[in-house]
Amino acid sequence: MSDRIHSLSGYMYEYQKSVQDPESFWSRIADSFHWRKKWDKVVDWNFETPDVKWFVNGKLNITENILDRHLYTRGDQAAIIWEPNDPEEEHITLTYKELHAKVCQFANAIKAKGVGKGDRVIIYMPMVPEAAIAMLACARIGAIHSIVFAGFSANALSDRINDCKAKMVITADGNFRGNKQIPVKEVVDEALKNCDSVESTIVLKRTGQDIQMTSGLDIWWHDAIEGVSTENKAEEMDSEDMLFILYTSGSTGQPKGVVHTCGGYMIYTAYSFQNVFQYNQGDVYWCTADVGWITGHSYIVYGPLLAGATSIMFEGVPTFPDAGRFWAICDKHQVNQFYTAPTAIRALQAYGTEPIEPYKLDSLKVLGSVGEPINEEAWHWYHDHVGKGKCPIVDTWWQTETGGIMVSPLAGITPTKPAYATLPLPGIQLVILDNEGNELKGNSVEGNLCIKFPWPSMLRTTYGDHDRCKQTYFSTFPNHYFTGDGVKRDEDGYYRILGRVDDVINVSGHRMGTAEVENAINEHPKVIESAVVGYPHDIKGQGIYAFVICDMDGRTEEGLTKEIKETVNKIIGPIARPDKIQIVPGLPKTRSGKIMRRILRKIASGDGDNLGDISTLFNPEVVEAIKEGASH
Ligand code: 7RM
């Protein structure tokens, strides 16, 4: 594709054009894709309702742009290289031709099971190529996929299935993770006890572990595709038809289904992928995310494959069989662009440089970071030891809701600065607002990060509840999309993301609503009330600290905290399990009964001697007791 920026002046020029005339800018970029019918209007928008449409009345199928378009130009090139958990197991390469055939075949198979355009399909799978095949097969027939990260509990899974009334679940028997074998189908069975909408389940055989297959409901993947044609004519989709739903946490207890649509998401993920990573034909690109998160959607599957790239998919974990696994894979497949999360970098940093030493890492050209602010120490370690001082780091800021990378250096083009996401991509109009909604202009300012003009891959709604979308993102600051993040624009005009300003915490790059964790804790019968806050954690970025009022009822503290952790495991999954639970006699509250999280945050981060004036609290005496019992 021709829309590649090659220089800093080129970036400045494109950025100016994208702001002065967004319609010509985006229509030029969209022109290089395959449309069954071109759009009538580039963008129609209103941030009040909100109502945003891109490439209005355009007709397309995203998989034609991923598969059919590349068939003759790069049919024999690797589209996906899959690296298994166990290094002894063979890796798998799927060329564009093979991926095309597999997607078409599976598309036919799910269609035969009664799934059609507009139906919702839940994908609950390990990191195997079939997860990407399932996504693309849904997109092929116009079904809306919603991937649920395979680490979520049965309860969290059934909530999501019921919210979108999914007709089908695509899953696997089990999941290999390091030296563990995790049940997957068993979790689905448990979840489906509470789901009426699901008519069938397709089960991939991965681990071969014993599972229950229910006749009339469950069918093996290999049986479903047996004898099925590998040709399929893609469904014609409107630009604004839903492509997928992805559930994400916010400041309320219930996760919301972020909705992305076909046309704009396609254009923006491909454009941002090529420009941020400066991908060149023939390069091997690897993003270590899980497809259960937005990063896996946009930058393992859609963006790279739209660009005709070779994308690595890794089943395992960074520390199995040892802490050199990432680097072994980089050397083995001669990875050129490597994209991971600060939490992974910090976890590996803790092992020192010894696990890196056996590897050359000389194929690497670009390093990426995503998911949370990267601290300077981790940035330098990544730069010096992984990149050997010669690879630019792209610190990419974006969200599930933004669909694609919003603020980031363009690799090798934008001068970087540790811990800075640097500058917005073309088309992204950032503003910084103070708490009253006044725009803070000029440099050296700090405030709430907002966006004042639509971009093609932005969320369109929250599934089944448009008002929630409006309240969450478009009401805090009228006529602006509010990101929930604080930001600083420094003296050079560079952006540094400061973290969430709402009740959302970021644990190992996973977003978690404090209310969501509190709700799970409160499910324990002996819990009376709880308050959850984040605290600085060396590896995870933020850890989860829960202050809990309990009816001890003869239990020991140790026994009870263990039970509470187990409860959270069951309600949400291991990623939400509190790192610390402190049983407290009360929670600091205002006279109107609001929990003063600011105080709890300070105590949790070891700054309890610096609480300021607490005399206006309804119960100031409780603070001393909490401080005494705090653990650091
Ligand atoms: C892609 C993703 C979104 C939240 C976001 C931020 C934080 C993500 C960075 C970052 C600082 C970064 N989607 N965040 N990237 N903070 N620098 N480069 O992570 O929906 O799961 O999370 O993550 O707070 O609002 S997400």
pLDDT band, very low/low/confident/very high, at 261 (cuts 50, 70, 90)? very high
**Where do the domains of the chain lie?**
504-629
Question: How far apart are alpha carbons 584 and 550 in whole angstroms?
Answer: 8
CA-proximal residue: ligand 1, atom 18 (nearest): 397
Q: How far is the CA of 173 from the centre of ligand 1 (A)?
A: 31
Q: What ligand 1 atom has the least distance to the C-alpha of 248?
A: 20
Q: What ligand 1 atom has the least distance to the C-alpha of 369?
A: 18
Q: What ligand 1 atom has the least distance to the C-alpha of 499?
A: 24
Question: How far apart are alpha carbons 398 and 419 in whole angstroms?
Answer: 15
Span 445-478, pLDDT tens digits: 999 999 999 999 999 999 999 999 999 999 999 9
Task: Please give the pLDDT value at position 1.
Answer: 53
Q: What string of DSSP letters covers 245-313?
A: EEEE--SSSS-EEEEEEHHHHHHHHHHHHHHHHT--TT-EEEE---TTSHHHIIIIIIHHHHTT-EEEE
Q: What is the mean pLDDT of residues 229-247?
A: 98
Pocket test for ligand 1, best of 287, 299, 430, 485 (most atoms within 8 A of CB): 485
Span 19-46, pLDDT tens digits: 999 999 999 999 999 999 999 999 999 9
As to burial, measured by CB atoms within 10 angstroms (0-12 exposed, 13-18 middle, 19+ buried), residue 179 is exposed
CATH number assigned to the domain covering 504-629: 3.30.300.30
* Element containing residue 11 per DSSP (H, E): helix 8-20
Is 356's pLDDT higher than 90? yes
Task: Please give the pLDDT value at position 593.
Answer: 75
* Sequence-ordered strand ranges (E) for 40-154: 41-46, 51-56, 59-60, 78-83, 92-95, 120-124, 144-147
Q: What ligand 1 atom has the least distance to the C-alpha of 395?
A: 18
Span 183-234, pLDDT tens digits: 999 999 999 999 999 999 999 999 999 999 999 999 999 999 999 999 999 9
Q: What is the mean pLDDT of the chain?
A: 96
Neighbours of 621 (CB within 10 A): 11
Is 484's pLDDT higher than 80? yes
Pocket test for ligand 1, best of 245, 340, 497, 505 (most atoms within 8 A of CB): 497
Is 267's pLDDT higher than 80? yes
pLDDT band, very low/low/confident/very high, at 591 (cuts 50, 70, 90)? confident
Omega before residue 84 within 30° of 0, cis: no
CA-proximal residue: ligand 1, atom 8 (nearest): 371
Task: Please give the pLDDT value at position 335.
Answer: 98
Residue 97 near residue 75 (C-beta atoms within 8 A): yes
Q: How far apart are the first and last CA of the chain?
A: 52
Question: How far apart are alpha carbons 410 and 366 in whole angstroms?
Answer: 10
Is 2's pLDDT higher than 60? no
Question: How far apart are alpha carbons 218 and 129 in whole angstroms?
Answer: 20
The angle at the Cα of 266, spanning 261 to 271, to the nearest 5 degrees, equals: 140
pLDDT band, very low/low/confident/very high, at 618 (cuts 50, 70, 90)? confident
pTM of the model: 0.93
Task: Please give the pLDDT value at position 279.
Answer: 98
CA-proximal residue: ligand 1, atom 7 (nearest): 372
